[in-house]
C-alpha cells in the first residue's frame, strides 16, 4: 500500500480498534498510547473513538503550530462537556459525545495549506489528562466529481440597453461603395460570470495558476439554448468578450459617412450551486455551495443615426 493510502486508512483502523476498549482499571489511560498520534492526508466525517470510560470531557482543542485554542460559535474556548456536539467557530472541526458516553465522534475538514495542520484534543476525567494529536497533511490533488445547479427564477432579468455600446462613424471618401466593419460598436460588451461562496475551502481546493473551467447549466429563452459554454471557477468575477453572430459589416456609399450606435439584449440570472469535490489521494468527498451570477449578451443590433 502506498504512503498516501496508508495515511488515510490508518485513522479508520484506529477508530475501529477502539470500539472494543473499556476501562477496567482506574490506572489505565483514557486513550491507548499507540493511538494518541494520528497522521492523515484527508478530511473525515463522524469517525468515532471509544474511550475507556464515560466521565470524560474535551477540555480544549489547540492548534499546535500557532498555540491558539480553537473557539466555538460563541467565541469561547471549544469544549465538549456533555452528550451532544460542538462545532468550531470556523466550521473546521465538529466533536460529539454519543448517547452511551464512551464514543467521541470527530469530523475534520480538509487541510488546504502546504503546512501540516496539527490539532491537540485534550481529554479530561476528574483531573486525569490525556490528549489526541491529529496531524493532517494537504491532499496533492482535488477534482470536481458532481455538481447541482438550480436557477433562482425570480431573479432572472432580460433587457435591452445601449449602456456598453460605443458610437462610431464609418467614412468612405472613395469613389466606390465599400463595406466597413461595425464591430467597434460592441468592443466594450462582455459576458460576466461571478462565483460567491462563504463555504470552507470553496476555492482553496483549486490548483494554483491553472485554468479551472466548469460547465454551468445552459441558458434557455423560449425553449431555445442561447448560451452554452465553460466559465472559469474562480472567486469573484471573470469576463469574456462578446462574439456577436450578426453580420459585422455595413455597406457605405461612396463619398458618404454613417453615424452608428447599438443596442444589446442581456440576460442576467442567479443560480445556487453545490459542487462535490474529491480528494484524489484518499477518495474523501466534501461539498461546497454558493451563488453564481451571470450577465450574458444574447443578441445585438446596430442603429443608423445619420447618413451624410
pLDDT, tens digit, 9 for 90 and up, residues 218-228: 999 999 999 99
Same domain, 90 and 227: no
CATH number of domain containing 290: 2.170.15
User: What CA–CA distance (Å, rounded) separates 258 from 264?
Assistant: 20
End-to-end alpha carbon distance in the chain: 81
Same domain, 256 and 303: yes
The string of DSSP letters for 26-57 reads TTS-SS-GGGSEEEESS-EEEEEEE-S-S--E
User: What CA–CA distance (Å, rounded) separates 222 from 155?
Assistant: 17
Cell of 93: 472541526
pLDDT at 99 (0 to 100):
83
Same domain, 66 and 204: no
Q: Residues with Cβ < 8 Å from 275, sequence gap 6 or more?
A: 144, 146, 147, 214, 287, 288, 289
| Domain end residue (candidates: 136, 156, 182) | 136
Q: What percent of the chain has pLDDT over 90?
A: 67
Same domain, 120 and 170: no
Predicted confidence band of residue 95 (pLDDT cuts 50, 70, 90):
very high
The domain in which residue 217 lies consists of 142-307
pLDDT digits (tens, 9 = 90+) for 182-208: 889 999 999 999 999 999 999 999 887
Q: Give me the chain's average pLDDT, please.
A: 87
Same domain, 64 and 122: yes
Residue 153 phi/psi, 5-degree rounding, is -55, -35
| Domain end residue (candidates: 121, 136, 151) | 136
Predicted confidence band of residue 14 (pLDDT cuts 50, 70, 90):
very low
Q: Residues with Cβ < 8 Å from 253, sequence gap 6 or more?
A: 172, 177, 307
Cell of 143: 477534482
pLDDT at 227 (0 to 100):
94
Give the 3-state secondary structure of residue 11: helix
| Domain end residue (candidates: 119, 136, 153) | 136
pLDDT at 73 (0 to 100):
87
CATH number of domain containing 123: 2.60.40.10
Predicted confidence band of residue 7 (pLDDT cuts 50, 70, 90):
very low
Same domain, 152 and 195: yes
Same domain, 154 and 59: no
Check whether 22 has a pLDDT greater than 50: no
Same domain, 217 and 283: yes
Same domain, 164 and 122: no
Which is it for strands 128-136 and 236-241: parallel, antiparallel or unpaired?
A: unpaired
Q: Which of 140, 180, 192 is nearest to 260 (CA)?
A: 180
User: What CA–CA distance (Å, rounded) separates 88 from 65?
Assistant: 17
Same domain, 56 and 74: yes
Same domain, 103 and 163: no
pLDDT at 2 (0 to 100):
46
Predicted confidence band of residue 174 (pLDDT cuts 50, 70, 90):
very high
The structure's pTM equals 0.81
Check whether 277 has a pLDDT greater than 70: yes
Predicted confidence band of residue 212 (pLDDT cuts 50, 70, 90):
confident
Check whether 29 has a pLDDT greater than 80: no
pLDDT at 247 (0 to 100):
63
Check whether 13 has a pLDDT greater than 70: no
- What is the number of domains present in the chain? 2
Which is it for strands 285-307 and 117-125: parallel, antiparallel or unpaired?
A: unpaired
Give the burial class of 275: count Cβ atoms within 10 A of its Cβ; 0-12 exposed, 13-18 middle, 19 or more buried: buried
57 neighbors 124 (Cβ within 8 angstroms): yes
Same domain, 174 and 188: yes
Lowest model confidence (mean pLDDT) among 20-29, 43-52, 258-267: 20-29
Amino acid at each position: 500500500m502506498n504512503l498516501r493510502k496508508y495515511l488515510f486508512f490508518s485513522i479508520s483502523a484506529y477508530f475501529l480498534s477502539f470500539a472494543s476498549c473499556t476501562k477496567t482499571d482506574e490506572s489505565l489511560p483514557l486513550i491507548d498510547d499507540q493511538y494518541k498520534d494520528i497522521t492523515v492526508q484527508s478530511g473525515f466525517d463522524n469517525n468515532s473513538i471509544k474511550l475507556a470510560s464515560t466521565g470524560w470531557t474535551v477540555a480544549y482543542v489547540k492548534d499546535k503550530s500557532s498555540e491558539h485554542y480553537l473557539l466555538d460559535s460563541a467565541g469561547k474556548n471549544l469544549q465538549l462537556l456533555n452528550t451532544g456536539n460542538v462545532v468550531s467557530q470556523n466550521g473546521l472541526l465538529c466533536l460529539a459525545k454519543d448517547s452511551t458516553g464512551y464514543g467521541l465522534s470527530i469530523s475534520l475538514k480538509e487541510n488546504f495549506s502546504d503546512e501540516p495542520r496539527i490539532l491537540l484534543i485534550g481529554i479530561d476525567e476528574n483531573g486525569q489528562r490525556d490528549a489526541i494529536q491529529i496531524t493532517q497533511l494537504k491532499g496533492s490533488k482535488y477534482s470536481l466529481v458532481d455538481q447541482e445547479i438550480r436557477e433562482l427564477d425570480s431573479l432572472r432579468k432580460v433587457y435591452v440597453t445601449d449602456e456598453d455600446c460605443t458610437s462610431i462613424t464609418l467614412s468612405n471618401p472613395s469613389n466606390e461603395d465599400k463595406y466597413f466593419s461595425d464591430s467597434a460598436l460592441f468592443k466594450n460588451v462582455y459576458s460576466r460570470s461571478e462565483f460567491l461562496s462563504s463555504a470552507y475551502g470553496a476555492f482553496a481546493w483549486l490548483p494554483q495558476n491553472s485554468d479551472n473551467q466548469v460547465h454551468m447549466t445552459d441558458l434557455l429563452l423560449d425553449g431555445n439554448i442561447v448560451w452554452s459554454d465553460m466559465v472559469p471557477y474562480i472567486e469573484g468575477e471573470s469576463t469574456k468578450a462578446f462574439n456577436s453572430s450578426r453580420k459585422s459589416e455595413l455597406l457605405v456609399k461612396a463619398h458618404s459617412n454613417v453615424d452608428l450606435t447599438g443596442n444589446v439584449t442581456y440576460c442576467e440570472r442567479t443560480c445556487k450551486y453545490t459542487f462535490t469535490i474529491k480528494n484524489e489521494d484518499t477518495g474523501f468527498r466534501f461539498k461546497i455551495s454558493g451563488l453564481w451570477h451571470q450577465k450574458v449578451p444574447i443578441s445585438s443590433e446596430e442603429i443608423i443615426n445619420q447618413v451624410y
